[in-house]
Amino acid sequence: MCDSTVCVVKCNSYDSDEVKNSFDRLLSPIGGLDFVKKGMKVAVKVNLVTAIKPEKAATTHPALVLELCRRLIELGAEVTVGDSPGGPFTGIYLKGVYSATGMRRVCDVGARLNDDFSSTVCDSFPDAVKLKSFEYTSWLSSADVIINFAKLKTHGMMGMSAAVKNMFGAIPGTLKPEYHYRFSNSRDFADMLIDIDEFFKPALSIVDGVDAMEGNGPTMGDVRHVGILAASKNVYDLDTVCASVISLTPDRVPTCALAIERGLGHSAKEIRAVGDGVGISICDFKNIDRPNDIEFFGGLIGIKGKLANKFLKSALCTRPTLSRGCVGCRKCADVCPAGAISMKDKKPRIDREKCIRCFCCQEFCPKGAMTVHRPLAARALAKIR
């Protein structure tokens, strides 16, 4: 298991001097960039979930990526920055994403933006729990090391999107709905994400929590200033610490809980947290109550058990719901891996029998009109627990 040290430092803005100073304090306690050698090819895997301005806090901020790239290039590395967001993994599509997110700034210090849009098939990954074979973006495999640079956000299915979830960007964008469908249970999906991290094994993971996203994340939530950067060589321990910053316990983030269960991450008490940002916790951070996958009446069989589970899941389980702001663009219907959304009178209609609660519709709605809804009964039960 990797070293359990996680460094958390204060960083109150994306001002270049502030960022430089914060990076000095962030990297030194975890060995800095000691793994980088002259001539090494380094892939910086950022979060570019969609073509959106960095001020919206949905993507890794370019000011931070710029500083990391500058340091890597000073060490003699060849640096490529990239991601495969939800959508076609093509030069035309990524051109718009790079521009909107401000990521073209990294070219100013000699880094390059990924222009290899090919994919590679892994026929066999025997160490995986769920993802025994899969297709991934080739640019990552051409690097000597990967640095995983994530954004701190809420997430409808996983509760939180940070370092572990960020590596899902290794999967070509148009294949992502298929993976949501194959691993529709949140535990299976979390195991699949962990498998991806275990395959790529990033040498270093960093989380941008200067401005995070709360509420209707990971694309259309609200900007929340948190004022921290966090880093570790253990991606799972990093996420456990990040979860605590936004007042989530590991059991509310499936990737954290399963990483501990699989012996890949440490419990919060076992993690060595260092830095002047340790202990920061936003108690009123607006998190998403992620769906659960339990069978409420597992002991009942036959029609009674099925009806009981169907009723209680309908009454208690979190689900995507259409709210105000829909413009009828049908993006939700196009991305739904289960084919559960149809358009009627230019508005989406969700077939609850087909819905697998992957929240792709909520994640990629360009207007934030699709939200995560927690039923009244579930909210009432939470208050009396």
Task: Please report whether residue 265 resides in a domain.
Answer: yes
**Residue length, the chain?**
385
CA quadruple 244, 249, 250, 254: dihedral sign: negative
Task: Output the pLDDT for position 296.
Answer: 38
Task: Please report whether residue 250 resides in a domain.
Answer: yes
Residue 166 CA to residue 196 CA, distance in Å, equals 10
Residue 34 CA to residue 145 CA, distance in Å, equals 12
Domain count, the chain: 2
Task: Output the pLDDT for position 372.
Answer: 86
Where the chain has pLDDT below 70, the residues are: 1-2, 290-316, 374-385
Task: Output the pLDDT for position 3.
Answer: 81
Task: Output the pLDDT for position 361.
Answer: 94
Nearest CA among 122, 113, 136, 145 for reference residue 46:
113
- Using DSSP's 3-state secondary structure scheme, residue 126 falls into coil
Task: Output the pLDDT for position 304.
Answer: 52
Q: Tell me which residue has tokens 């809980």.
A: 257
| Token pair recorded at residue 267 | 């419990």
Query: Do 106 and 166 fall into the same domain?
Result: yes
Task: Output the pLDDT for position 295.
Answer: 41
Task: Output the pLDDT for position 373.
Answer: 79
Query: Do 264 and 313 fall into the same domain?
Result: no
Task: Please report whether residue 290 resides in a domain.
Answer: no
Task: Please report whether residue 362 resides in a domain.
Answer: yes
Query: Do 178 and 214 fall into the same domain?
Result: yes
Q: Give all strands (DSSP E) within 194-284, no chain letters.
A: 204-214, 222-232, 272-274
Is-contact 106 67, C-beta < 8 A? no
Task: Output the pLDDT for position 306.
Answer: 53
Task: Output the pLDDT for position 303.
Answer: 54
